[in-house]
Amino acid sequence: MHRGENAVGEQAVRGPEPRALELEIPRLERGTVPMGVGKPQNNRPRVGLGFRVWKPRVSKANREKLKTLYNDIVNFSLGVTSELRGPKYLTYYAEEWEKMYENVKEMRKRAGKRTPPRTPPLLIPVRFVMPDGSVRGDKSAPCVVDLRRGELRISSYGVVQRLRRSLVRALVEENNLNPRPDFVLQVTRRGFLRLVASRAPPKRDASALLLVCVDENLGHGLHATLIRFNDERVRVARGPTFKPPNAALLRRIAAQLQSAADTGTTSELRALIERAYEELNEKREVEGGELYAAPDRLRELYRRARAKERRLNREWRNRVVAWLRRTVRANADARAVVLVDEVTAETAQSGMLRRVRRKLMNLCAYEGAEYLPLRASGKLCPRCGAMGVEVARRIFKCPKCGLEWHRDRAATFALALNYAKLTENEALYRVLLEWLNEHPRALLS
């Protein structure tokens, strides 16, 4: 029953690998049109939209073409030039772009910054060619994502970019969703691409209920339990445990590297550099020369340690998100509610949880699930409510009814009970307790 304290980035149960990269949710500034996805009705920004973002790889040659395209359209939008290569349709979102630009400028001014702001990405309408040859999206959109040939084209600028197979598969699935998402292509000023899907399906009206109960824990990561309730019957399945990546050590080492580089302190430098190598999975001896070149070497190692820390955290978030998306889509016949006992403390680790939480909320909006923060205690007996006694590490026993449970697992079950109380769903509450009586040891692991 002992859980290793420092499980090195291992997940007790690994979530599925994301089929396509889950990336940062586009940040929406107040008052802007959400990334130009679809023209908003009555000029009101849409609320409650969920997003998915893919970043197709772009070859060097295509990046140059895309930079030219970017500059052409920006210059045209800003009135610097009056001629436009390619169809007028490329400027379909010019107005939205200008608004975004004004907004960025305004924010910079308010923040007291004087350097000119970076120009926001362009938005370009997209159509898809499906594997069967049918076309989805606006028939005259200048960007074609050809899922039959596995390429993205912007003909007027000669851009033909091959797409990875995993991305093609993901986009086929996305196009077949009901309701189908809105898509738009973003071209950044540096010639990179982002394909953004957005949608806000109505909450499902179904008799079956899927509760995804997630307990956040600072040191122990996320614990999840799945509960399906239908026809007065309940099915309970242990979900994965997503142990947090072992990034805290990297962060500490990075901080030490940085301060050693800044202060020029050389004591135990060799040991510090060796530890950094170890964390970066490089088994090698520190040479004398590296110690002479210390500040530069330290800064370089600092950058690499930070990059690895960010990568570990990002991969962790992606695993959580991919698992939840798969779970919600696999239960398309049920009304899905994601219950989260949120950690409220403010630490570096809680920042990581906050970021994954934001992704889960976005996912719920996109998949038509509900996100509901709820409190639940892992110390109270889920059966009778008495305060448990800790009999082993994170294992509790009820002095009144004798039930034993693992604190994190019980917390997820308590979330479902609290949800039943909150929604006055007496049948759900009753069958959950019945289930617990029949499986008294189920919350032990």
Report the interface residues with Zn ion, using CB under 5 A.
Answer: 381, 383-384, 386, 398, 400-401, 403
Given the complex with Zn ion, which of 174 and 408 has the nearer CB atom? 408
Given the complex with Zn ion, which of 290 and 408 has the nearer CB atom? 408
Nearest to 178 by CA among 296, 387, 283, 332: 332
- Beta strands 335-341 and 370-373: pairing type? parallel
CA dihedral 429, 431, 437, 438 (to 10 degrees): -160
Q: Nearest distance from residue 410's CB to Zn ion, in Å?
A: 11
Q: What is each CA distance from 26 to 116, 197, 198, 324, in whole angstroms? A: 22, 11, 10, 20
Given the complex with Zn ion, which of 61 and 386 has the nearer CB atom? 386
Q: Nearest distance from residue 393's CB to Zn ion, in Å?
A: 20
Cα gap 139→107, rounded to integer Å: 36
Q: Nearest distance from residue 383's CB to Zn ion, in Å?
A: 5
Q: Nearest distance from residue 436's CB to Zn ion, in Å?
A: 10
In this structure, are residues 301 and 256 in contact, taking their beta carbons and an 8 Å threshold?
no
Identity of residue 83: E
Given the complex with Zn ion, which of 245 and 382 has the nearer CB atom? 382
Given the complex with Zn ion, which of 283 and 441 has the nearer CB atom? 441
Q: Nearest distance from residue 381's CB to Zn ion, in Å?
A: 3
Given the complex with Zn ion, which of 179 and 399 has the nearer CB atom? 399
Given the complex with Zn ion, which of 260 and 410 has the nearer CB atom? 410
Cβ neighbours, 10 Å, residue 85: 13
Q: Nearest distance from residue 339's CB to Zn ion, in Å?
A: 22
Q: Nearest distance from residue 402's CB to Zn ion, in Å?
A: 7
In this structure, are residues 408 and 396 in contact, taking their beta carbons and an 8 Å threshold?
no
Q: H-helix or E-strand containing 67?
A: helix 60-77
Given the complex with Zn ion, which of 265 and 437 has the nearer CB atom? 437
Nearest to 114 by CA among 105, 101, 124: 105
Q: Nearest distance from residue 400's CB to Zn ion, in Å?
A: 5
Give 73: exposed, middle or buried? Use CB within 10 Å, 0-12, 13-18, 19+. Answer: buried
Give 281: exposed, middle or buried? Use CB within 10 Å, 0-12, 13-18, 19+. Answer: exposed
CA count, 13 A, side-chain hemisphere, 440? 8
Q: Give me the residues paired with residue 129 across strands.
A: 135, 146
